[in-house]
Amino acid sequence: MKSAHTVEIKQRFCGPPNSGNGGYSCGIIGKNLSGPSQVRLHRPPPLDQPLTLSQEGDNWSLKHQGQLVGSAQPTELNLLVPTPPSLTQARAARSAYPKDLAHVFSTCFVCGPDRDAVDGLRLFCGSVGNSYSEVPLVACDWQPDAALLDAQGNVAAEYIWSALDCPSYFALGLATDKISLLAQMSCSIDRPVQGNQPLIVFAWKRHIDGRKGFSGAALANAQGDILARAEHVWIELK
């Protein structure tokens, strides 16, 4: 079975100024699979352009003028998630986010400080502290805007993917004079993410291998229930 339709990544959903945010771009592909999915980005997703999203069997692809932008396939996400911080700790970690950080992508949909609260997610993840968890965490709180919710009042899947993107980059603790882009993301939305409650976004470094950074992120409610999980591969540009 093969089917296709046209989608578009609006300028609002940029990461770098001229291409789509990695998590959002992965989400518009990966959300079409039932269960956990792995998305690979083959090139920067273009903005405000007609893109062809097509299905062949269990796999999905996103193309621009015949060139492969992203591909998705089912996966098993056997990701060990650390104990989440409390909502109070997540809010304190947001306050600990360095305000003078040299931000490469200041208009990023997820973490850009130049975005308004109703326009971007403004997820500013600071350190939780090494003594709290099994591994060092970065975290912040998140109250989703009503415009991000579906008809059932749950956060739409592409925004969950978005929220789990940039925090995982900050967890790597990379030098701010280097640029890394999301190359691959695997995500599992384990429970509906109700949008009428404060949420906790947290992330951690898994390891670094040369120019590749491997990290994880998760979304929890104030009760500490894990709602969604993701693991990432970041590539440092030469």
Same domain, 226 and 119: yes
Rounded-to-integer distance, Cα 152 and Cα 150, Å: 5
Q: Are residues 209 and 93 in the same domain?
A: yes
Based on the fold, state whether residues 6 and 118 are members of the same structural domain: no
CA triplet 22, 235, 21: central angle to 5 degrees? 10
Q: Parallel, antiparallel, or unpaired: how do β-strands 59-64 and 126-127 relate? A: unpaired
In angstroms, the CA 86 to CA 194 distance is 18
Residue numbers in the chain where pLDDT is lower than 70: 1-2, 99-102, 130-133
> Is 52 part of a structural domain of the chain?
yes
In a domain, 213, yes or no: yes
Residues 47 and 161 in one domain: no
Look at residue 81 and tell me if it is in a domain.
Answer: no
pLDDT of 154 reads: 98
User: What Cα–Cα distance (Å) separates residue 196 from each residue in 149, 151, 154?
Assistant: 9, 13, 8
Do residue 137 and residue 158 come from a single domain?
A: yes
Domain end among 43, 74, 105:
74
Alpha carbon distance 220, 37 (integer Å)? 19
Q: Are residues 120 and 232 in the same domain?
A: yes
Looking at the domain assignment, is residue 194 inside a domain? yes
Within-domain flag for 80: no
| 145 within domain boundaries | yes
Instruction: Work out how many domains the chain is built from and give that number.
Output: 2
Q: Tell me: do 56 and 131 sit in the same domain.
A: no
Of 144, 162, 141, 130, nearest to 86 by C-alpha is 141
Structural domain for 192, as ranges: 87-236
**Residue 79 within any structural domain of the chain:** no
| pLDDT for 141 | 98
**End position of a domain, from candidates 53, 74, 95:** 74
Q: Which DSSP category does 163 fall into? A: H
Whole-number Å distance between alpha carbons of 11 and 79:
32
Q: What pLDDT, on a 0 to 100 scale, did the predictor assign at position 1?
A: 47
* CA neighbours closer than 13 Å in the CB half-sphere of residue 111: 29
215 backbone φψ class: left, alpha, beta (φ>0; ψ -120 to 50): beta
- Residue 130 confidence (pLDDT): 61
Alpha helices in 10-154 (DSSP H): 22-30, 87-96
Q: Give me the CATH number covering residue 129.
A: 3.10.129.10
Same domain, 66 and 137: no
How much is the pLDDT for 117? 86
